Amino acid sequence: MTETGLTSSTNTMGTTPGYMPGFGNDFETEALPGALPQGMNSPQKCAYGLYGEQLSGTAFTAPSHQNERTWCYRIRPSVKHVGRFEKIDVPYWKSAPHVLDDVISLGQYRWDPIPHSGEVLTWVTGMRTVTTAGDVYTQAGMATHVYLVTESMVDEYFFSADSELLVVPQEGRLRFCTELGVIDIEPKEIAILPRGLVYRVELPDGKPARGFVCENYGQKLELPGRGPIGANCMANRRDFKTPVAAFEDREVKSRVVIKWQGQFHETFIGHSPLDVVAWHGNYAPCKYDLRDYCPIGAILFDHPDPSIFTVLTAPSGVPGTANIDFVLFRERWMTMEDTFRPPWYHKNVMSELMGNIYGEYDAKPDGFAPGGISLHNMMLPHGPDKTAFDKATHSNLGPEKLDNTMSFMFETRFPQHLTEFAAKEAPLQDDYIDCWESLEKHFDGTPEGNWKR
C-alpha cells in the first residue's frame, strides 16, 4: 500500500520507479500478478473476478498511428461509478464560447501572479479561467486557467468529458491519483491528463499549490515533427513517464464531478472509482520534466521563430497551424553574431498566452513576475520593452547564457477571450501597454541612424 491508499504495481520498468518511459507507447502493467490477460483483450472470465473494459481516446476507425485506447481490468465496470446526475455550479471554470459584452479582449494584457485568498479550494473549485478560445461543443480550441489549490480532494473524484488537460505547476506539488496510476508533479514538470480519465488531486506536502492549465478541446497533444532537425533534441519520447497500475478497493461514499459540454454535474457512489487492477494500451496520463527539454537555436545569426521551442502540439485541420502549441523558453546559450537576440517585434496570426514559472524573461525584464501571465491576442503587435531593446541593441555580443529562466506559451490559432475574472478580479496590470511608450525614434534620414542612447 502506498501513502495514497492505492495498491501499486511492483513493476519498475525504466529508471524511474513507479513509471514507464515513453510517449504514446503501448504499455502493459498489473498491480496483482496475472491480472492482465495475455494474447487477448476480453476473456470470458477475467482473473480475480475483474471486469474487462475499453477506454477509447479516439474513434474506433481512426488511422492506426493515431488510434488510442486502453483496456482496463477493474473491480467494477465504469457504469457503477456514476449514478443520476445533478447539475452543480462551478462559477470560475468557464468554457468557450464565452464572449462577454462588457469585456474587451482586444489588447495586450499582463497580470501579476494570482494570489491565494485564504479560501479553502480543491482542484475543481480552485480553477480560475483566464481565457477561452474556440468552441467546446465542436471540440475545437482551448481554455487557459490558473489553479489555486489549498486542500486535497477526499473521497471526491473528477473527470472531464470535454478535454485533455495540460498541467504546468508553478508553486507547490500535486499528486494525481488516477484510474491508471499515480502521478506526482512539481514545478518544472508538467502532466497530461487525457479526456475521460477519472482522478483525485491531492497536496502531498499539505502546502498550497498554484499553476497553469491548458484545457485542450481538440485533437490530442503530440510531439511536433522535427523535420530537418532529425531524430534527437527538443522533447524526447523516452523522457515522458506513464504511471504503473495502482488501484483502490474501498467501500466509502464518494462524489464524482464531471465536466461535460462546459457544464458541471455531480453523482454519488458507494466506493472509490480508482479500481483498475491492470491495464494495457496507449491512452494514459503521463508527466514530463521540462528540465529534460533540449532547446535548438541559431548558432551564427538571426533569431529563429519561437516555434523552434515547441514541446507539444495539438494539430488542427489546417496543416502546420495548431489548435494549441505548448512552447518552452528555458535556460539556453545565445551565440548569434550581429543579431538582435530577444524575440523580435511582430504581429501573429496565432494568439499567445504566456506564463512565467520562475526567473526573468529576456524580452520583459520588468513586471513579468513568476506566476504572472501575459496575453497578446491574434494580430496585435508586441515585442521587447525599452529596457530589453536598449540592452540587446548596445550589448557586446559574446556568448551569453540565459540563466535562471523558465517561461512558457500556450499558443492557439483562435482568438482568446478574457473571462470576467481575468478582466475584473485578477491582478491586471493596467499600465502594461505603457511599457512600449518610451521606445524612441532612431530614424534621422542617414544610413547610420541616430543610435545614441
| Bind-site residues for Fe cation | 352, 382
With 0-12 / 13-18 / 19 or more C-beta atoms within 10 angstroms meaning exposed / middle / buried, residue 149 is buried
Question: Do 143 and 205 touch, CB atoms closer than 8 A?
Answer: no
CB atoms within 10 A of CB 428: 16
User: Looking up cell 528555458, which residue turns up?
Assistant: 330
Give the gyration radius of the chain's Cα atoms.
23
- What backbone phi and psi angles, to 5 degrees, belong to 180? -105, 5
DSSP string, 28-96: EEESSTT-S-SS-S--SS-GGGPEEEEEESS-TTS-TTT--EEEEEESS-GGGG--S-EEE--TT---S
In single-letter form, the type of residue at position 185 comes to I
DSSP string, 141-199: EEEEEEEEE-S--SSEEEEESS-EEEEEEEES-EEEEETTEEEEE-TTEEEEE-TT--E
Annotated binding site for homogentisate: 346, 361, 382
442 tagged catalytic: no
Among 65, 303, 417, 442, the one annotated catalytic: 303
d(CA 218, CA 431): 34
The neighbouring-strand residues paired with 234 are 294
Measured at the alpha carbon of residue 295, what is the angle toward residues 293 and 297, in degrees to the nearest 5? 175
C-alpha 206: how far from its chain's center?
22
**What positions carry a catalytic annotation?**
303
